[in-house]
Structure 1
Amino acid sequence: MPSSFRRIRSRAVFCLALLSLSSVAAHAQDPTAPAEAPSAGSTRRRSRSFYISLYTGSTSSQSSDLRLTQPRLGTDVTYRDVSFEGRPFTGSPYYGLKVGYFLPKTPRVGFELEFNHAKMYAKLGESKQLTGTWQGQPVNTVEPLSDRIDRYQITNGINALSFNILYRVPVIVSDKYPDGRLQPYIGGGPQYTALYSINQIDGLGVSEKYHPNGWGYQLFGGARYLLNTHLGAFIEGKYQHGDAASIIADQGDDQGGRGDADIRMAQLAGGLFYQF
């Protein structure tokens, strides 16, 4: 497992640990203790349900097998344990946008529609096990990916639309912040991805365009902190899982082949949100 993936995963685990500790702290008070009476003339604010969020951060992809199929050329090969990198600030950056809603009668439970843009670049300089059939001839060797692959990258990129369910815990509750000024949370949901691949295999380039990919899922945990009653900041650890089926060129057909890999990506995100 790449060291960068371990670092991102460790940070995500730290976020989840922070969530758990905050939840314990929130419930550690004596449940029989009466609620604090509001000060004279104060009015308890209503819970704010709708919000929008914008974030950026860092990503790291776990290694995956990479299968290349080009039927017209007679190619069906698999590279084992290929390493990928995210390059979140090269070219189009890593970013995401959320639109969410917490239920007024159950304000700990919320729903989100999220768009997430990430990238994957194969590390072509590494040598990997190659097995299968290449242009009609059997192969079983260890060689650099760059011997046969000129470019293999999903750079514009992995575009994911997710429907999330989340649960938050109110911490530092007051009349001004009825849902808690600090809000640790966890969540997850199904995710559909579309890819934009820039691939070149043995001199054959692909027709670059967006194309549908398929379903996966994501899990996340983090904490929100309100700077005032409307504006806040958050940090979030995320894990995204799915398949990445990229188009590659085939003989006489710039979209006749495909490359298949796994999306197993850790993300550490931070950003701002505004609630209405």
Structure 2
Amino acid sequence: MQKTILSGILVLSTLTIAAPAMAEMELSIYSGWQTAPHSRLYGDYPGTGADIDALIGWEGRSFEMPPYYGVRGTWWKNERLGFGLEFTHAKVYAPDSEKAAIGFSDLEFTDGLNIVTANVYQRWPGLWAQGAVTPYVGGGLGIAVPHVDVDTTTGIDTYELQITGPAARLTAGVSYDINDRFAVFGEYQFTYSSNNVDLPEGGSLETDIKTNALNIGLTLKF
């Protein structure tokens, strides 16, 4: 996880050095309301190898600790085209009744369902409010690095970061310039992650998780 973030920082640093004088760099942070629809969970139960096949109605619980949040860096090559790196700390919890029914006392990715992607953006600067409002869209591909918190009712525990598979995101929003250095924004964001999780004693879990989020954030331009 740390190597992934460090690599991203180095890439953005290289882009900053190489960027022409007219290019623009942005650093954005955000939080908001994140949910996740049902997904099918498959796997092998730790210690017994029994098949797992269940429909899980994931809960987001955005405002509980640890909170849902995201950070991204964007290099705007010109007024309309941008490239960036983004990290999102999403969360999903299996409801108590559903996890108990398949033999788990904990079944969650809550610190978090971490999504890291390289993104491409298109924006339309200065459309409204005397040039202060800028709509934008973006998308990216990357990896899922969830913190796996899975405990069985038989006492087999997993509590660690794992790289579990590919991930993708789509974003659409509007930014409003407060001044030359700062802007606020609101956006809708969708993420997809394929998660193949290793559990002790021959156990495993597999599920594709989608999230939907309404974000509010702050951008620093430099």
State the TM-score bracket (shorter-chain normalisation): 0.7 to 0.9
Q: Does 1:60 align with 2:14?
A: no
Q: Does 1:122 align with 2:94?
A: yes
Kept in 2, the 8 Å contact 1:99–1:114? The answer is yes
TM-score by length of 2: 0.83
1:112 to 70, 81, 84: 84
Cα deviation code 1:122-161 (max 9, x no counterpart): 11324xxxxxxxxxxxxxxxxxx41322111111111111
C-alpha distance 204-182 of structure 1, shift in aligned 2 (>3 A): same
- What's the counterpart of residue 120 of structure 2? 165
SS of equivalent residue, structure 1 residue 90: coil
Q: Kindly state the Cα deviation for residue 263 of structure 1 after the two structures are TM-superposed.
A: 1.1
CA distance in 1, matches of 2:28, 2:39: 31
Equivalences for residues 1-276 of structure 1 within 5 A? 49-70=24-45, 72-79=47-54, 81-103=55-77, 106-126=78-98, 145-147=99-101, 148-172=103-127, 180-250=131-201, 256-276=202-222
C-alpha distance 96-188 of structure 1, shift in aligned 2 (>3 A): same
Q: Kindly state the Cα deviation for residue 171 of structure 1 after the two structures are TM-superposed.
A: 2.5
Q: Kindly state the Cα deviation for residue 210 of structure 1 after the two structures are TM-superposed.
A: 1.0
SS of equivalent residue, structure 2 residue 163: strand
CA distance in 1, matches of 2:190, 2:81: 20
Question: Which consecutive unaligned segments of at least 5 residues does structure 2 have?
Answer: 1-20
CA distance in 1, matches of 2:144, 2:126: 35
Kept in 1, the 8 Å contact 2:81–2:121? The answer is yes
- What's the counterpart of residue 7 of structure 2? none
CA distance in 2, matches of 1:101, 1:181: 19
Cα deviation code 1:82-127 (max 9, x no counterpart): 1001111212111111111111xx320001111110111011324x
Kept in 2, the 8 Å contact 1:215–1:242? The answer is yes
- Paired residues in the alignment total 201
Residue identity in the other structure for 2:91: K
SS of equivalent residue, structure 1 residue 198: strand
Residue identity in the other structure for 2:183: G
SS of equivalent residue, structure 2 residue 216: strand
Residue identity in the other structure for 2:67: P
Q: Kindly state the Cα deviation for residue 47 of structure 1 after the two structures are TM-superposed.
A: 5.6
Residue identity in the other structure for 1:58: W
Kept in 1, the 8 Å contact 2:117–2:167? The answer is no
Kept in 1, the 8 Å contact 2:119–2:140? The answer is yes
Compare 265-274 and 66-75 and name the one that shifted more. 66-75
Residue identity in the other structure for 1:119: K
Residue identity in the other structure for 1:198: D
Residue identity in the other structure for 1:108: R
- What's the counterpart of residue 11 of structure 1? none
TM-score by length of 1: 0.68
Kept in 1, the 8 Å contact 2:79–2:125? The answer is no
SS of equivalent residue, structure 1 residue 208: strand
Kept in 2, the 8 Å contact 1:204–1:249? The answer is no
Kept in 2, the 8 Å contact 1:206–1:247? The answer is no
Kept in 2, the 8 Å contact 1:197–1:247? The answer is no
Residue identity in the other structure for 2:219: F
Residue identity in the other structure for 2:178: L
Structure possessing the higher radius of gyration over alpha carbons: 1
Question: Which consecutive unaligned segments of at least 5 residues does structure 1 have?
Answer: 1-45, 127-144, 251-255
Give RMSD over aligned pairs: 2.0
SS of equivalent residue, structure 1 residue 228: coil
Q: Kindly state the Cα deviation for residue 201 of structure 1 after the two structures are TM-superposed.
A: 2.0
CA distance in 2, matches of 1:60, 1:200: 23
